[in-house]
Structure 1
């Protein structure tokens, strides 16, 4: 086991076969962020010892994995599109609030200067695309009908 840079690497027995795995756990998190195969030692029975360079590589890999996951989550929860409607360029954004009890989204419109023009609460399932954005702007920002 190695600790450092906000991570703990722990070599564990792979429950699926006779091999070994390494679990990368971010400090403060209850579950591993990443679990991957680990090399067997020379005796083909025990795991290869974890060393400094291997730990550094594992930290880099796990950090990148977490960063990509966070980017994907952000992209799925925050969408934005700029449209021209009513003779103006309007940036329309959809921010999904993944609440367990009451999931919803906020549909917002900003003018060219970045000023908030309108904001309404919509269903978390609302689909933001060019046509739905234009329709919302042309309807004077009235709350879209639930589908």
Structure 2
């Protein structure tokens, strides 16, 4: 991402967030703010998409020059809707990745059953930890223990835990 100058950043008070703004370089509507900004890295322009209540943009991307090849193309309804859709998708993918990083699952087939072992990381600032749990095929919980947040869940570590009769791993 490029270094960008964001003068006149949108106010975050509720009155501003509730009112729609449809200007050439600032468009606020439906919980989003699009701001066309000067790109400091080159001569062009960029657009920053900020979701209401957030301090950082969800998306910053290049913006088209206007006909005079000097000023940016003005924002309009179709462009804003496209930007909202793109920024929402970026946030959705980020949330999916965060979920995948915090929630792991493996299935271990034993002689008697198929057991699903999950690891749910709780990223607490002061005391991060994880919950290691086992469920049988019917979804009934067989065990749950608290482990270090950096516990590595693999098929092998899950099988070892099952073999150890669900005693807390070291």
Structure-1-length-normalised TM-score: 0.93
Which of 23, 28, 40 in structure 2 is aligned with 1:15?
40
Which of 13, 21, 24 in structure 1 is aligned with 2:49?
24
Q: Within the alignment, does 1:127 sit opposite 2:152 as a pair?
A: yes
SS of match in other structure, 2:144: strand
What is the Cα-based RMSD across aligned positions, in Å? 1.1
Q: What is the distance in 2 between the residues matched to 1:144 and 1:86? A: 22
Which of 83, 99, 102 in structure 2 is aligned with 1:77?
102
**Structure 1: runs of 5 or more not aligned:** none
SS of match in other structure, 2:139: coil
Structure-2-length-normalised TM-score: 0.81
Answer yes or no: is the 8 Å Cα contact 1:86–1:137 preserved in 2: no
**Structure 2: runs of 5 or more not aligned:** 1-25
Other-structure match for 2:125: 100
Which of 131, 137, 146 in structure 1 is aligned with 2:162?
137
Answer yes or no: is the 8 Å Cα contact 1:86–1:138 preserved in 2: no
Count residues with an aligned counterpart: 145
State the Cα deviation string for residues 79-103 of structure 1 (Å, max 9, x = none). Answer: 1111123622211000111112211
- Give the structure with the higher percent strand: 1
SS of match in other structure, 2:42: coil
